Each structure stands twice: as C-alpha cells, then as structure tokens.
Structure 1
Amino acid sequence: MPPKTFCASLFARGKSKHVPVELAIVIVNWNGGELLRRSLQSVAQFPPSLPFEIVVVDNASTDGSRAWLESLGDRVRLIKNDENQGFGRANNQAFAATDAPLLFLLNSDAEVQRGAIDMLVETINSDERIGVVGPRLINPDGTLQASVWRNPVTPFETVANAFRLYKLMPRGLRGRLLLGYHWDHATRRRAQLLSGAALLVKRNLIDEVGGFDERFHMYGEDTEWSLRIVRAGWLMIFEPRAVVLHHGGQSSRKRWSDLEKRRTEYEGFFRFQRLCLSRRLALANLLTGCFVTLTHYLWQRLRGRPVEESKLVLKLHAAELKRTLLANSREPADGPAQVVKRTL
C-alpha cells in the first residue's frame, strides 16, 4: 500500500489537532519488514473508536523498515535509535514521549482483529483497580497461542510439565493449576503474567510502578514488570473477547540461532530470579531445573538424539546455581529506568 494511502486510512479516525489523544499505540520495531506493515495495516483496518496516536520506536533497523516509517511523515511518531536498545528500554522511550492516559503495547509481528482494542479499553475502564488487560492471542493458522501464565514459576509446575504429570490431573484442574497451554483461554480472569505481544496499560500504573527494568535487554522484562505490577496491588486481566494474531518470535529468529536464543531466554529468566525471588525459591527452581534438564539430557543420549540444547541448558543452570549458592544477596533493586519520566 502506498504511504499516502496507508496514512489516510490509518488516521481517518486517529489523532486530531483539536482532540486530545486518549490512546497511544506503541510498537517497537527491529527489522520488522512486511510483518510491521501488516501490523500497522491491522490498526488501519480495525482502529479504536477513541482518538489515538501511534508511537514507533525503531531499534536501528537495516531492512528498509525505518525508511518506510519515515515515509509516513508525522502521521506516525517515530523515535529512531542508533543501536538496538532492547525491548524494555525502547518501550520506556515511547512511554516518555506521550502523555496519553492509555497505552497499547503491540508487537511489530502482531495484528489486531476487529473490535479488539475497543474491547480492551472497555475492560480496563470497568474497574479503577485494573491496570493491564491482555487479549486472546492466536497463531496465523487460527489456533490458540497461550498468553496467561503463573508468575513466578515454581518447582511444582516445572516437574509437572517436564515429566507430563499433568496427564494424571483432570483437564479442568490442570488448566486452573498450570494455565499456559493447559488452559483453554475461554473466560475472563485475573492473571499474574500476560504475554507482552499485546497489552493495554494505564498511564497511572506506569507513573506509580515505573516502566520496564532496563537491565533486561530482551526476555524476562515482561515477567519482572508483571510481578512488580501485581505486587503493587494492580489487577491484570485477561480478556478473551479481544483477539490479536501474533506471528511470534520473528525478530529473535532474525537475530539469533536457536541455541543463542535459548541462552538469552535463560539469562533473562535467571536475572528475573535474582532480582525478584527469595533465595529459597530461586534455589528450589534452580535445583529442579538442573534435575529436569539432566534427566532430559541422559534420556536424549540413550535414544541417540541431539543433546546440544540440553547440554547448554544444564550448563547454564549449573553456573547460575553456583552463583546463587555463593551469593549473599540479590542484585541491587535500583536498576536504571525503574521510573519513566515524560519528556513532554
């Protein structure tokens, strides 16, 4: 779609010089390419009914997507970084660049469906205690993409999933206890962790608890933020009526190999544990992780299957376990950008 036509469609019901913006749609882009275009086109096709603006933070893209965003002119507020600042810091830049009372965080590989944003707005405005609302996510083939999880994870969940002990539980009980792919995501409920692919957030919440912790470059930052939000007394709500299609993991596939991505995921998880969990729970999770991974590694070897990933994960767990046993305290809690200040 030519830029001018795209912009006219996108902002036909968007921001006006005479109407205060009530919603900022925040997108972090790194080499989003065609998926970024489809994400913005979905907003153009199914826009919210309230005045909105779009803030895109480009993390030094090299695939031509930054040039395409620039061609949209002032219809999209574009923040251009000279290097990849990571997911959390880039979102914080967007938080500081707008004073909209509602912010909709949308991945560059996610596409809103009809009425999704309005349904999220309706839910978040239904109770002043609600600070975050997340939609039902679907894969490109229409199947469910799990987006509601327990937070923090416990040894019980790790063992139940790793050894498939959940099969001993009735399906309903399994869903309530373990969530994730064990739950059908069919009803509205409170949540402790929602997928960061699409989240509607109140500005008041960000002013109170701060934005993303910038010590996390990628992976773990949404888990830490969610726990901080819940601990501050805000409610996180899953709203199944709102649907967003999420392609999932596209940026990471362009950036890392499978093993590099796995390493980055675990580094983020371990950092989350050091920052947020008691030493007792962190040790319990690490010991459980070592046991589960060692069992999987030995089983794969016996079957003549590749063991590179299991070997890497076991090594990471062992190193983190040693670090935790030797440490006397957690990392300091005063990380950068815990509180986001507006620049307007």
Structure 2
Amino acid sequence: MILKTHTYNLQLKDPFRISHSSRNVQPTLIVELTNGDFTGYGEAAATSYYGVSVDKMGQLVEEVCPVVAENINKSPEEIWQITAPYFKENSFAQSGLDIAVHDFYGKSKNLPLYKLWGLELENLPLSNYTIGIGSIEEMVQKMKNFPWPLYKIKLGTDEDVQIVRELRKHTSAVFRVDANCAWTAEETIKNAVLLKELNVEFLEQPLPKEDWQGMRKVYNESVLPVIADESCITEADVKKCAGYFHGINIKLTKCGGLTPAKRMIAEAKTLGLKVMVGCMTESTVGISAIAHLLPLLDYVDMDGALLLKNDIAEGVKLRDGKVHFPERNGTGAKLIKFT
C-alpha cells in the first residue's frame, strides 16, 4: 500500500468574505491511498481560523501511513478508531485520511458508499449556493451570475436585514442566513422576525460559540429555527446543542471525517435535531464524499467546488441545487490534476 499527499492552493472565482475573514485562495490537502488495484482520495481544507495548515496535516497523515498499511483490510470505521490517537489535535488531517480510506474501501467492494451503507438516493435535499459578504451590488451580481433555487447569505455587517431586503428584490429563491457568530441574542430575535417575512428558512450560528445563555434565549424566542455550526465541531458537541439549537451543521473536516459524521447524524436524530452537512470550500474530492450522506440529511451546503476558478477533480456534480452521481464506486471522485 502507498499513501501520498498532494497540496493545492485552490483559486476562488471571487473573493469570499464572511464576518471574520476574507480570502481569494483556499489551501487544501489531498490524500491518495493506493494498493495498485484501487486508489482512494480524501481531502481536508486548511483554515487559519482553526490554526490548521496543509503542511501540518500532510505530516500527520504521512506519519500514520505504516499503521494504515498494517490495517488496510479492516473497515474504515476500524481504521478510524485505530488511528484516532495520532490525530487528537488535528481532526482536519484525520478527515482527509478517513475519506480516502472510505473511497478506497468502497472501490475495493465495487460499490458507491451510499449503497455500501444501505442507503437509496431518494428525497435528497437541495444544496444551497453561498453568497459571501460584499456590497449589495456585488452580492446581487453573484446571484445573477449563478441562478440557483436556494442561497446561503453570509452576513455580519451593520446593515444585514437591509442587505437581505435588497437581495430579495432580485430573486424568489429561498434564503438561508449565516451570521458566523456576529450577532447578539437581541439582534437575532429581532432580525428573525424581519427575515422570516423575506422567505429566510433558518439562521446559522448567529451568536458567538461560547454564548450558550444567549442561545437558550434565541432558541426559545426566535421565530426562525437556528442551526449550530461553530458550536458543533465534534461528536461531544451534539448533545450540548439540544435545547439551544434546532439543528446542527456537521463539517467533515472539523469532526474528523465520514466515520464520526455518521455517528453525529444518528445521535442528532435521537435528540430531535435537524441535520445539515456543510463544506469548507473543498474541491470535488471533498464534495463527493459529502454527497453520500444526503439520504440521511435535512439540509446540505456542498457548493464548495462551485466557488472555485479551477477544480482539481471530477465526481459528484451540482446542477440547480440537485446532486448528480457519477458511475463510479467509492465516493466517485477522481483527481485530475497533479502538481
């Protein structure tokens, strides 16, 4: 078995701005796992917000290579558990490896992951397309350039409701709002009333992740559902969110991959929480992995590859919010660019 890592700087079509950062480039790590017959690909996007770099991720993945090789005939879940001690401080790196192992395993079993898991491609949720913060003119132009049935609007400015009001004049699409921790409880409750009238479906992480008292107030008084993002990183966070949020947004990179994501989905459902899976501006390698969870989800945000100027892979595709699977096993992703 051979394990390799590849690093890329994914160029974005437009500058992507949220309440706490802005970027034109997304560094990402691709994990390649092969035995000569089958090759599995995984991905983990780096982010300075969480102190994660591609160099550190690559180093960790390569260090655990001998352990993976010794256990390659085991299931992805077993390999995840065996390698977990090596990734205590870096779930992003663990996610890249876990996705590659799942892809490899699915290919070795001659099945796409969703079939391997006993799922059917029925009643799948649509993916939103994200509009980052900008001038109203810029945000409107992005919508015109990319007509879509469902948009996630990034907010966190002094004119958030006015922005949504202006955007609503140009589309009948459903809106989701993500304030990325920028609001107070009082702002959220007030804004929710106005935003509901503008056909906003839900609010994602309106308050700072440490403001649990404020979230309890919002949970009880908001006229719109609230979905946890920064407040729900790992499996241990799911139970904490019950009674504070109406749902959770799981990121594969943050939680450690498909293996823990599936466990988080199951636990959330037992707690009566809605479940969303989101992305981190990955290429089609990472996005294709997310797609296999769709039969288990209420909502999905998997537009990352659509935001790129040039993708480095092919696989699952999005058209008008709908997901289209390739005729391939594993995740269905195929790396098309090596550097």
Scaled by the length of structure 1, the TM-score of the pair is 0.27
Looking at secondary structure, tell me which structure has more helix per residue.
Answer: 1
- Which has more radius of gyration? 1
Scaled by the length of structure 2, the TM-score of the pair is 0.27
Looking at secondary structure, tell me which structure has more strand per residue.
Answer: 2
